[in-house]
Structure 1
Amino acid sequence: MSASAQIVLRKKKNSKGLYPLAIRITKNRRSSYKHIGHYIDLEDWDDKNLKVKKSNPDADNLNNLLSSKLSQVRKGLMNLQSENTDLSAGQIKRNIYKPASSLTLFDYAKEHLETIEAEKKINRLTTDTALTTYIWAFHKSKNLKFQDINGRWLKKFYTYLVGSRALSETSALNVFVLIRLLYNRAVVDKVVSKDIYPFGKGGFKIKFPDTHKIGLSKKEILIFETIDNLTEIERHSLDVWLYSFYFAGMRISDVLFTKWSMIHDGRLHYRMGKNNKIVSLKIPVKALAILKCYEIEKNGNDDFVFPEMKMADLSNPKDIYNKIKVATSKLNNNLKVIAKKIGIEKKVTMHIARHTFGNIAGDSIHPLMLQKLYRHSDLKTTINYQSNFIHKEADDALDSVVNF
């Protein structure tokens, strides 16, 4: 498929409430954007004819500029196509606007953030935007060439993150994961030679510390299932937690997005928000009991089972992200209160439902089946995850030595 280019108005307004004009380069249904540097009111944009309306006092100048910029890009596209160069939309943009030899980490970071924003991955956008701020704060400039990122630079940066910025080891390493991702892309694009690659064997190694995952026991789950001295909001929070647990630790975003239309033939059919995989699971009897409690609030087959997303603007990814974030915080606070009421000292959050399923499953379920239940893409991920909850062999070995 050949690449195309057109003028668009990005739907992300600035602090003044104005929207940026940009050129969108598309290839194989993936797009990359180059901002023109001018902003207009939303009502001043003619979405049908892709130009600035006369209602904008500077319409003629802006439209001339847009026409010129678009012509420049299309000329660049023709040159690249004549060279039979098979490039992505992002690579096309970089080739047109900037020589590869002068591309910096900032150029790649900017393109990365624009892409995940266009893909409406707001959670990832928020996280990665925050990670980039540490890089620019340390380097004190956005003009960071890939050739300057060597082992010494990476070690000094790590010291800065855990020292001056007081980040945990895990948080600090997440910044390096992003740098490595961008560096790998630069190597593929031949912006930097792989001969000076600073990561991996012989270079800077990104090794995350082991995390201690603790789930509830069967006894504690039984207490959760039979507790009755709860307020209405506490009861709801516990229902959501148990629902997640009954579906093998279903992620909170997928729980809150459960619709009645996803439930038929005794199964739950849904598309995972994290990796877009389609999942079909049998609905456990205990989960059916929870669903029955919420059926009284059902407002049509396309309605959400739980109330948190009923008022969300589903056309606005940021509103969805914010509502899930706020809901998760409230649920976790209520779960903390519930745990205190019944004397459970373990930390209980929505994510702990996933650890709890793993803890109770132990080594009694084959890893391939657990992979399916957890919806992991890679079996290694399942094995590494489940190893946190398998203790029997080590316990028996210990007993065999000390019990004499």
Structure 2
Amino acid sequence: MDTSRTFSIHFWLNLAKKNDDLAPIYARVTVDGKRAEISLKRTTKVTFWDTKAKKTTARTPEGKELNDYLDQVQAKLLACYKQMSSDFELITAQSIKSRFLGTDEKHKTLLELVTYHNNNVGGSIRPGTMKNYFTTEKYIKKFLLQSQRTGDIYLKHLRYSFIIDFEQFLRKGPSLQNKNPLNNNGVMKHLERLRKLMNLALDLEWVEKNPFARYKLKFHKHQSDFLLKHELDTFRNARTIDQGHEFVRDVFVFSCYTGLSYIDVKRLGRNNVVLGMDGKFWLSLERTKTRHPVKVPLLEEAMEILERYRDRPCAENNALLPVYSNQKVNMYLKDIAQDLGIEKRLTFHSARHTFATTVTLSNGVPIATVSKLLGHTKITTTQIYARVLEDKISADMEGLRTVLKEGKTNKEKRISGW
């Protein structure tokens, strides 16, 4: 392939924009006869401009500074041309201008990356997750302004130190919601999203290396509270303060016996209730979080709640159950637990843990089956939910004692019979 071409740089005054005796200076880049013009954001007096030398003749400190600047511009434009030539890139007057101004694809900024992600990837992300990305974007902008003293930053300038500084900014500064700083896992979530953004930049070839390559996310493991069997029974039979608390109790208990997440319960419609191959009713749906199909047999306790609301007008779109906002549900759960003397920090997610631990695993349901019911794609995810209860351990060990005792007795019988 023939790569020979003509290339020239020319400085000129735009007399059409002349004001009194001052005119703006432009640089014209020409490649193979095609031009691209760049405003240098500088002006000079027309009377002092040397059209042959393409410099000012003013013998003043300002004149010397201007000529030095023009030399720097010429050197930078030439460097852009040489770099693109050595990289075997397509060279045009416009591409050299873009490289000079830092607007070409190799000089994208962090906020340009965020915008690209929101416009091109956001459609495949569920709204709740996308909302979290918008929050991370707000923290990034706040960090750039307050700590970096800039409105944006080139991706090529991001270093490991940028990540560490951003982490400390999140840890020490007040959160967007209140004056308290974010907890550790909240900080890690924002850094996790920034890492995903940088992975996207790497895939797009906007950066040559990811500054997160040597950074380790450090989540603190904690497990949600769940209800024991006697607590679940107490919850089911509780007399609530008002109808709103009754709704929340019923929806929460329904999730305890189905293992569904808040958003999946909220989206349940009559079409999700189907007749299974065993002749009994099942729930058939696609998990909102993973889009993984799930089928859950309806236990009697769950069916009882559905029957209770069969003829009641529930939420919009012919919903099966009346489900309030997640924030309101969690607030009411706190009230109910307090009234019942259950000293646990319950959230709606606690129902999913209760299903996995108290309802299924402690009653002998294999973890592989529980994983299917929860809609997990990996059994290791289920193990996070699966907490074996002490009474289950005790029962299992008692069974083991019986087996060992019977084995010992049989052995003694065989020996005595010999």
For normalisation by structure 1, the TM-score amounts to 0.62
Residue equivalent to 1:33:
none
Q: 1:296 is paired with a residue of what secondary structure?
A: coil
Q: Return the alpha-carbon distance in structure 1 between the equivalents of residues 384 and 336 of structure 2.
A: 31
Residue 205 (structure 1) shift: 0.9
Say whether residues 1:359 and 2:357 are aligned partners: yes
Any idea what the Cα deviations from partners look like across 1:323-368, whole Å, max 9, x if unmatched?
xxx6222222222222122111112221111122233245744332
Q: Return the alpha-carbon distance in structure 2 between the equivalents of residues 158 and 174 of structure 1.
A: 11
Q: 1:367 to 1:105 in 2, by over 3 A?
A: farther
Residue 230 (structure 1) shift: 4.6
Any idea what the Cα deviations from partners look like across 1:187-224, whole Å, max 9, x if unmatched?
12222123xx3324xx2211211113221111100111
Which consecutive segments of 4 or more residues in structure 1 shift more than 6 A? none
Q: 1:182 to 1:339 in 2, by over 3 A?
A: same
Alignment of 1:257-276 (within 5 A): 257-265=267-275, 266-276=281-291
Native 8 Å contact 1:116 1:124 kept in 2: no
Q: Provide structure 1 residue ranges, at least 5 long, that are not aligned to the other structure.
A: 1-96, 309-325, 397-404
Amino acid at match of 2:193: L
Residue equivalent to 1:284:
299
Q: 2:295 is paired with a residue of what secondary structure?
A: strand
Q: Return the alpha-carbon distance in structure 1 between the equivalents of residues 184 and 114 of structure 2.
A: 22
Residue equivalent to 2:249:
238
Residue equivalent to 1:107:
112
Q: 1:281 is paired with a residue of what secondary structure?
A: strand
Q: 1:212 to 1:121 in 2, by over 3 A?
A: closer
Which segment is superposed worse, 366-375 or 265-274? 366-375
Q: 1:262 to 1:113 in 2, by over 3 A?
A: same
Any idea what the Cα deviations from partners look like across 1:275-310, whole Å, max 9, x if unmatched?
2222221111111111111111269xx7211244xx
Q: Return the alpha-carbon distance in structure 1 between the equivalents of residues 125 and 155 of structure 2.
A: 28
Residue 115 (structure 1) shift: 3.6
- The correspondence for 2:232, drawn from 218, 221, 236, is 221
- The correspondence for 1:148, drawn from 132, 154, 157, is 157
Q: 2:311 is paired with a residue of what secondary structure?
A: helix
Native 8 Å contact 1:251 1:351 kept in 2: yes
Q: Return the alpha-carbon distance in structure 1 between the equivalents of residues 162 and 122 of structure 2.
A: 29
Native 8 Å contact 2:306 2:321 kept in 1: no
Native 8 Å contact 1:214 1:359 kept in 2: no
Residue 116 (structure 1) shift: 5.3
Say whether residues 1:174 and 2:189 are aligned partners: yes
- The correspondence for 1:349, drawn from 347, 360, 366, is 347
Q: Return the alpha-carbon distance in structure 2 between the equivalents of residues 303 and 145 of structure 1.
A: 49
Residue equivalent to 1:294:
309
Residue equivalent to 1:370:
370
Q: Return the alpha-carbon distance in structure 2 between the equivalents of residues 254 and 111 of structure 1.
A: 30
Q: Return the alpha-carbon distance in structure 1 between the equivalents of residues 384 and 253 of structure 2.
A: 24
Q: 2:310 is paired with a residue of what secondary structure?
A: helix
Residue 260 (structure 1) shift: 1.2
Native 8 Å contact 1:252 1:328 kept in 2: yes
- The correspondence for 1:126, drawn from 131, 140, 163, is 131
Q: CA RMSD in A?
A: 2.8
Which structure would you say has the larger RCO, counting Cα contacts within 8 Å and 6 or more residues apart?
Answer: 1
Q: 1:120 to 1:380 in 2, by over 3 A?
A: closer
Native 8 Å contact 1:294 1:306 kept in 2: yes
Q: Return the alpha-carbon distance in structure 2 between the equivalents of residues 176 and 258 of structure 1.
A: 33
Native 8 Å contact 2:122 2:130 kept in 1: yes
Q: Return the alpha-carbon distance in structure 2 between the equivalents of residues 167 and 357 of structure 1.
A: 30
Residue 120 (structure 1) shift: 7.1
Q: Return the alpha-carbon distance in structure 2 between the equivalents of residues 277 and 134 of structure 1.
A: 32
Q: 2:341 is paired with a residue of what secondary structure?
A: coil
Residue equivalent to 1:251:
261
Q: 2:296 is paired with a residue of what secondary structure?
A: strand
Native 8 Å contact 2:268 2:319 kept in 1: yes
Residue equivalent to 1:43:
none
Residue equivalent to 1:339:
337
Q: Return the alpha-carbon distance in structure 1 between the equivalents of residues 304 and 385 of structure 2.
A: 29
Any idea what the Cα deviations from partners look like across 1:38-88, whole Å, max 9, x if unmatched?
xxxxxxxxxxxxxxxxxxxxxxxxxxxxxxxxxxxxxxxxxxxxxxxxxxx
Q: Return the alpha-carbon distance in structure 2 between the equivalents of residues 344 and 272 of structure 1.
A: 30
Alignment of 1:20-169 (within 5 A): 99-115=104-120, 117-119=122-124, 121-140=126-145, 141-165=150-174, 166-169=181-184
